[in-house]
């Protein structure tokens, strides 16, 4: 790895990202599916290939110029890769744990809350905003953000949107309380950079509310001072599946909340349209803000490019894109 000089050994068919994380070298990533671009590096020497096909987040021109997506890239020979490593103090290695499904709670017509409980004396060490993978039969895995901060970990809370025909979320009705699942985590680097002490804009799309909820609860508990404005984009009013943000806005002076509907009913008095456009209407100059967003890939893509074009520095933008698992891909990179 350049410039740190860290050396990592890859197992057969292991991605460079997986090998680095396994050996305690923390690299940036989000989706681990080749779609978000967060794990981008540059191959300075050697060559990589992509057994699952060229990932969608790089062009053929970028690949030819040495840009590589490390969550998908396998080394063909010994390589030197330039990448922005994260500090060692941020490294909490993921582990695999059993978890009992204690409770299912319907939050909206297509969103279910799952409360998972770890075995007695087991804790998952994580940061508010991170996600876990549920390890499913057939070597498949699905990622879900933790909706609670670690201080409130009596149960690990997930908000799952039910996708019709979805391999996991399509079967939730049949998933029995008290059944045991396996999870792996924590994953990702989506957490509040409280050391920045900058005003923040939070943008949730649908169940993207989950990790932002965890960060907000932690910020409120810690008495975090800088202003935070949460925008929550959903289709219609019935999809605003929690009233907490309204309550917090009344309780915390620095916190504001704006729900945004893309398909409002005629009697809706609030903001409507695309959530990222509403953000830009409210904050045409985002330079002074940290921006955190989570939700569906099209929302993240559109917001990312428009915010950066509007002058938001790249290092003030943090996101988790809720990429769907690639068809047919199993194991640690799916
Ligand atoms: C870092 C990360 C965090 C995530 N956190 C959450 C979370 O907190 N809550 C949550 O609900 N999801 C979250 N996801 C998405 C989640 O991992 C699954 O992709 C999703 O639940 C669908 O899985 P499935 O097995 O039910 O459907 P699959 O069997 O994987 O998909 C079935 C079909 O539906 C399509 N599809 C899948 N998801 C959607 C969708 N949302 N909208 C439209 N079409 C879709 C697929 O392309 C496929 O054709 C996250 C993803 C990532 C990468
Ligand atoms: S493209 Fe590699 S982590 Fe998203």
Q: Please, are residues 190 and 129 in contact by the beta-carbon 8 Å criterion?
A: yes
Closest CA to 6 of 82, 66, 105: 82
Tell me how many degrees the CA angle 76-330-100 measures, rounded to the nearest 5. 135
Give strand pairing partners of 258. 231
What band does 326 get if pLDDT is binned at 50, 70 and 90? low
Mean pLDDT of 107-128: 92
Which residues have C-beta within 8 Å of that of residue 293, sequence separation ≥ 6? 202, 203, 204, 205, 208, 276, 299, 300, 303, 317, 318, 319, 320
Q: Please, are residues 292 and 212 in contact by the beta-carbon 8 Å criterion?
A: yes
Q: What are phi and psi of 205, to 5 degrees?
A: -115, 115
Mean pLDDT of 156-183: 95
For the cut 50, the answer to whether the pLDDT of residue 131 exceeds it is yes
- Ligand 2 atom with the shortest distance to the CA of 29: 3
Pairing state of beta strands 80-82 and 40-45?
A: antiparallel
Mutate which of 166, 168, 234, 292 for ligand 1 pocket (most atoms within 8 A of beta carbon): 166
What pLDDT is attached to residue 328?
40
pLDDT tens for 269-322 read 999 999 999 999 999 999 999 999 999 999 999 999 999 999 999 999 999 999
- If you ran DSSP here, which 8-state letter would residue 278 be given? H
Q: Which domains are present in the chain?
A: 16-89 (3.10.20.30), 91-189 (2.40.30.10), 194-321 (3.40.50.80)
- Ligand 2 atom with the shortest distance to the CA of 321: 4
What band does 43 get if pLDDT is binned at 50, 70 and 90? very high
Peptide bond just before 140 cis, omega within 30 deg = no
Pick the ligand that lies closest to the CA of residue 28: 2
Please tell me the distance from the alpha carbon of residue 30 to that of residue 147, in angstroms, as a whole number. Answer: 17
Give strand pairing partners of 144. 132
Whether pTM exceeds 0.75: yes
Q: Please, are residues 324 and 227 in contact by the beta-carbon 8 Å criterion?
A: no
What pLDDT is attached to residue 327?
52
Q: Which residues line ligand 2 (CB under 6 A)?
A: 29-32, 34-39, 55, 57, 69, 71
Closest CA to 261 of 280, 295, 235: 235
Closest CA to 208 of 292, 328, 99: 292
What band does 63 get if pLDDT is binned at 50, 70 and 90? very high
Residue closest via CA to ligand 1's atom 50 equals 322
pLDDT averaged over every residue in the chain: 91
Residue closest via CA to ligand 2's atom 1 equals 34
Q: What are phi and psi of 34, to 5 degrees?
A: 80, 10
Please tell me the distance from the alpha carbon of residue 129 to that of residue 302, in angstroms, as a whole number. Answer: 21
Question: What is the 4 CA–ligand 2 centroid distance (Å)?
Answer: 21
Question: What is the 268 CA–ligand 1 centroid distance (Å)?
Answer: 29
Mean pLDDT of 212-240: 95
Which residues have C-beta within 8 Å of that of residue 117, sequence separation ≥ 6? 99, 100, 102, 154, 155, 156
What pLDDT is attached to residue 154?
82
What pLDDT is attached to residue 91?
58
Please tell me the distance from the alpha carbon of residue 295 to that of residue 191, in angstroms, as a whole number. Answer: 15
Residue closest via CA to ligand 1's atom 43 equals 163
């Amino acid at each position: 790895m350049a410039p740190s000089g860290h050396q990592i050994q890859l197992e057969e068919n292991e991605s460079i990202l997986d090998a680095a994380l396994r050996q305690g070298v923390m690299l940036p990533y989000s989706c681990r599916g080749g779609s978000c671009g967060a794990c981008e590096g540059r191959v300075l020497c050697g060559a990589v290939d992509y057994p699952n096909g060229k990932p969608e987040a790089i062009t053929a021109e970028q690949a030819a110029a040495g840009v590589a997506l490390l969550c998908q890239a396998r080394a063909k020979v010994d390589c030197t890769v330039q990448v922005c490593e994260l500090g060692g103090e941020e490294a909490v290695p993921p582990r695999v744990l059993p978890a009992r499904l204690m409770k299912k709670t319907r939050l909206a017509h297509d969103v279910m809350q799952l409360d998972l409980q770890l075995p007695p004396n087991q804790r998952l060490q994580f940061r508010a905003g991170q996600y876990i993978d549920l390890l499913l039969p057939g070597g498949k895995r699905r990622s879900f953000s933790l909706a609670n901060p670690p201080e409130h970990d009596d149960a690990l809370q997930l908000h799952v949107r039910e996708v019709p025909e979805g391999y996991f979320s399509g079967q939730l009705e049949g998933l029995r309380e008290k059944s045991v699942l396996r999870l792996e985590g924590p994953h990702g680097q989506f957490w509040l950079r409280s050391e920045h002490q900058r005003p923040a804009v939070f943008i949730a799309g649908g169940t993207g509310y989950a990790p932002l909820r965890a960060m907000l609860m932690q910020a409120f508990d810690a008495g975090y001072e800088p202003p935070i404005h949460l925008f929550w984009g959903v289709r219609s009013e019935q999809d605003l599946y929690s009233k907490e943000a309204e309550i917090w806005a009344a309780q915390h002076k620095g916190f504001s909340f704006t729900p945004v509907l893309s398909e409002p009913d005629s009697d809706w008095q609030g903001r409507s349209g695309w959530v990222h456009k509403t953000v830009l209407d409210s904050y045409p100059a985002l330079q002074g803000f940290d921006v955190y967003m989570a939700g569906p890939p099209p929302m993240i893509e559109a917001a990312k490019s428009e915010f950066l074009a509007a002058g938001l520095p790249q290092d003030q933008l943090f996101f988790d894109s809720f990429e769907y698992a690639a068809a047919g891909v199993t194991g640690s990179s799916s």
